[in-house]
Chains A and B, each alone.
Chain A
């Protein structure tokens, strides 16, 4: 019997930005990077108005936690870069 991976551990994050442009930038920066194990973990990035919306789907809690924390680390870098370096 083929075992199917059910991506039934989900999490949605909404991160507000000061404006639409910044939220768009965040999506463009995050989107290109491939997921190492697409059968275990999925991420979707969207911007809705001023917000960055990230949807995670994963096979278990552990994979979800690791994946989410790595994306949050990247988001932190993006926010700091925008804060400090836009029109320096």
Chain B
């Protein structure tokens, strides 16, 4: 039996408090979360029902000009500049006066992500851990998304679709691990959308694909769908070919290359397709691929719940398409969260880290806090689930 109260709260309190630091990509997030100490957590898999209270959830995004991506070095500098200020603000918001007394654990993202930004946040995490004498938990970013999603939506055992700027995975829990059922073979979906946005010279904020979603809504003729490659490979998918193809179309459109028969009418030379039509087609095509592999994973594990997490998860069209698929399955349900929790944040790191801490998986040995760019979801031992 899982006992989530294996480690009791500090100083005889009847609640746990965790600080979470996230900085694996261009978002720097600091969050504080509180779990009450509940008797029913002593035996049973109730890790999706912690009755979490979010005491602070603040974020600062490193924004680059439209048409430019974020580079590791500059992102790390942004995180270094803001990290301490954000921690201070989060503690203030949460009303924590004496961290060494009021915090149980400090959680930070150990990976996966960009090396330099991860490292800059880990340095701050180690320093406060020593200053306040509080143990550390290095959290897997993907597991952070999953646990926050489960807690917010109350989905006990969902198939998880994790879609963000750096990751695209279909995940299901089995035997103490979050197993990867299918994933991208090349680039992540958010990266695909962001790079197309860069070609169109539109900004990437607030979340990957957000501005493409807005343009796609303006598509006037949804029946005349531009045909794109559809590249599902078993349980996996590939997106780099689709990106290259649609980028060529966009460039031909900007140049006014009338030889391109997809974009221009062969007789009159009139433009048939606009930027919004391309955005719509790209979304429909990519999301259809995601829905297909998610449905197959659901059939495999006999689950009727889907949880969508990650930055691209706020996309309403993706949620709608997933909803249609689930509607066709018996008792199918889609769970998704809004931008506060979909987009990278500190609270989710605190949530996953606190679960780990409560199972006695925290550390004071800093050699275990070295960040890593590659950190697979299934490397984490999920002690808090049955």
Q: Which residues of A contact B (CB under 8 A)?
A: 25, 28-34, 73-74, 76-78, 80-82, 84-88
Contact, CB under 8 Å: B370 / A81: no
Q: Is the interface of A mostly helix, strand, loop or mixed?
A: helix
Q: Among residues 82 to 110 in chain B, which have CB atoms less than 8 Å away from a CB atom of chain A?
A: 83-85, 87-88, 91, 97-100
Contact, CB under 8 Å: B130 / A32: no
Contact of B131 among A30, A31, A34, A86 (CB under 8 A): A86
Contact of B88 among A25, A87, A88 (CB under 8 A): A88
Q: Is B367 an interface residue (CB 8 A)?
A: yes
Q: Knowing A32-B366, A85-B87 touch, does A25 contact B131 (C-beta < 8 A)?
A: yes
Contact, CB under 8 Å: B124 / A77: yes
Contact, CB under 8 Å: B370 / A25: no
CB contacts (< 8 Å) of A87 on chain B: these are 98, 100
**How many angstroms from the CA of A86 to the CA of B85 in the assembled complex?**
13
Q: Which residues of B contact A (CB under 8 A)?
A: 76-77, 80, 83-85, 87-88, 91, 97-100, 119-120, 123-124, 126-128, 130-131, 366-367, 369-370
Residue of B nearest to A32 (CB): B366
Contact, CB under 8 Å: A74 / B123: yes
Contact of A78 among B88, B97, B127, B370 (CB under 8 A): B127
CB contacts (< 8 Å) of B131 on chain A: these are 25, 81-82, 85-86
CB contacts (< 8 Å) of B123 on chain A: these are 29-30, 74, 77-78
| B81, chain A: closest CB distance, angstroms | 9
CB contacts (< 8 Å) of B97 on chain A: these are 88
By CB atoms of chain B within 10 A, which of A28, A86, A88 has the most?
A88
**How many angstroms from the CA of A84 to the CA of B92 in the assembled complex?**
13
Contact, CB under 8 Å: A77 / B120: yes
Q: Knowing A77-B120, A85-B131 touch, does A31 contact B88 (C-beta < 8 A)?
A: no
Q: Apart from A73-B77, A77-B120, list 17 A-B contacts with CB within 8 A.
A: A25-B127, A29-B123, A29-B127, A29-B366, A32-B126, A32-B370, A33-B370, A34-B370, A74-B120, A77-B80, A77-B83, A77-B124, A81-B84, A81-B131, A82-B127, A87-B100, A88-B88
CB contacts (< 8 Å) of B98 on chain A: these are 87
| A86, chain B: closest CB distance, angstroms | 5
Contact, CB under 8 Å: A73 / B127: no
Q: Knowing A76-B80, A88-B88, A88-B99 touch, does A81 contact B127 (C-beta < 8 A)?
A: yes
Residue of A nearest to B92 (CB): A88
**How many angstroms from the CA of A34 to the CA of B368 in the assembled complex?**
12
Contact, CB under 8 Å: A28 / B87: no
| B124, chain A: closest CB distance, angstroms | 5
CB contacts (< 8 Å) of A80 on chain B: these are 84
| B325, chain A: closest CB distance, angstroms | 44
Residue of B nearest to A81 (CB): B127
CB contacts (< 8 Å) of A78 on chain B: these are 123, 127
Residue of A nearest to B116 (CB): A70
**How many angstroms from the CA of A33 to the CA of B123 in the assembled complex?**
10
